[in-house]
Amino acid sequence: MTHHPSPRAPARGARYVLVTPVKDEVKLIGQTIEAVLAQTVRPQEWVIASDGSTDGTNEVIERYARQHPWIRLLPLPPRVGRDFAAVVKNTERALRELSVTDYAYVGLLDSDVTFAPTYFETLLDRFAANPRLGLAGGVVIDVGLPKDKFPLNRWDVPGAVQFFRRECFESLGGLIAIPEGGWDALTCARARMNGYETRLFVDLVVDHHKPRNIAHGGPLKRRWQLGVRDHALGYHPLFEAAKCAAKMRERPWIVGGVAWWLGYCAACLSRRPRLIPADVLAYVRAEQRARLRGQAPGASPTDSAPKAAVAR
C-alpha cells in the first residue's frame, strides 16, 4: 500500500460519506481505494458493498479496512450475472449500513475510477459556494478516449461519481432501480425536478479504467442496449432521433448511432413496460423539448427554493 500524507480534517459542514457497489473488480478496486486515501479531505466513512465477489475483491478491501477503520466491507451473497437494477439496490444497502449520521454530503462512487487528490475538496468548495447545488461530479473519461473532448450535456452526472448535498439526496426518497440502466440520468432529472441544480464539472477529470457497459457485449450490442435504456427512461422520440444522429459522428462511425436508434425503436415496438413514475416521465420529456429549442434544463434563477427533504 502507498503511504499517504495526513489529510486535513473537514469542517463540520463539509463532512461526507461514500458508498460503492462492487462485483469482481480485484484488478481495479485497489486503485480506487488508493485514490480516496490520497484525498486532501477524506470521507468520514466509506461502505463498499461487494455483490458476491469471488475473485479476491473482498480480500483487497479487507486489507485496506484493517489499516483504515472508516473503510467498511459489506459482503453480499452471490448472485448470478450482472444487472443495472442490482447496482441501485446494493448502493441503497450500503447507505443503510452507514454508522456516521452527521454528514452533510453523500457520494456514490464506482469501483474502477481514479481522480486527483483534490477532487473531493474541490467539489466541497463548489457546493459551499452555491447553496442551490444539489448534485454534482466530475467528467468520467473511459480508458483510451481523449481527455480534451467533453460532453455537451453539462447537467447530468454519471452514477460513477454522483455527489449529493444530503438534503437533495433525501428529497429523492430513494433511487429508482431501472433494469435497463440509466438510473443516474433519472436521478439528475429528479433532483432538478425538486428544485436543485445539477452540474457536471469538466475541469474535474475522472479516469474510468474500463469501457462502460462492457459486460453487455461488443460496441454495437452496447449501443443497442443504450437505445433500449433510453426507451425505458421515457426519452422523447424527437430528442432520441437527434441524439442518435449525433452519435453517428462518433466511433463506430454511423453504425453506432444506427444501432442505438434501432434499440430504441425495437423497445417502442415491443411496448416494453416502463418503471418510471408518470410525473418524472413528463418532466424528463419537457426538459428534452426545451433542449431541442436550445434551452438549458433545470430550475431558473427565479424558481422557488428546493423542496424540503423527506424523512430518511
- Structure confidence at residue 12 (pLDDT): 58
Q: What angle separates helix 237-247 from helix 219-232, to the nearest 10 degrees?
A: 160
- Structure confidence at residue 280 (pLDDT): 97
Q: How confident is the model at residue 165 (pLDDT cuts 50, 70, 90)?
A: very high
pLDDT tens digits, residue range 167-194?
Answer: 999 999 999 999 999 999 999 999 999 9
Inform me whether the pLDDT recorded for 242 exceeds 50.
Answer: yes
The ranges assigned to domains in the chain are: 12-208, 216-292
Q: Tell me the mean pLDDT in the region 253-275.
A: 96
What does the buried/exposed string (b/e) look like for 165-196 if buried means 16 or more CB atoms within 10 Å of the residue's CB?
A: bbbbbbbbeebbbbebbbbbbbbbbbbbbbbb
- Structure confidence at residue 144 (pLDDT): 85
- Structure confidence at residue 132 (pLDDT): 98
Inform me whether the pLDDT recorded for 82 exceeds 90.
Answer: no
Inform me whether the pLDDT recorded for 301 exceeds 60.
Answer: no
The C-alpha atoms of residue 284 and residue 116 are separated, in whole angstroms, by 33
- Structure confidence at residue 11 (pLDDT): 64
Hey, what CATH topology would domain 12-208 get?
Spore Coat Polysaccharide Biosynthesis Protein SpsA; Chain A (3.90.550)
Q: How confident is the model at residue 309 (pLDDT cuts 50, 70, 90)?
A: very low
Mean pLDDT of all residues belonging to the chain: 92
pTM for the complete prediction?
0.92
Q: Tell me the mean pLDDT in the region 10-38.
A: 93
Closest Cα partner for 166 from 126, 107, 106, 122? 106
Q: How confident is the model at residue 90 (pLDDT cuts 50, 70, 90)?
A: very high
Q: Tell me the mean pLDDT in the region 256-269.
A: 98
What does the buried/exposed string (b/e) look like for 45-63 if buried means 16 or more CB atoms within 10 Å of the residue's CB?
A: bbbbbbbbbeeebbebbee
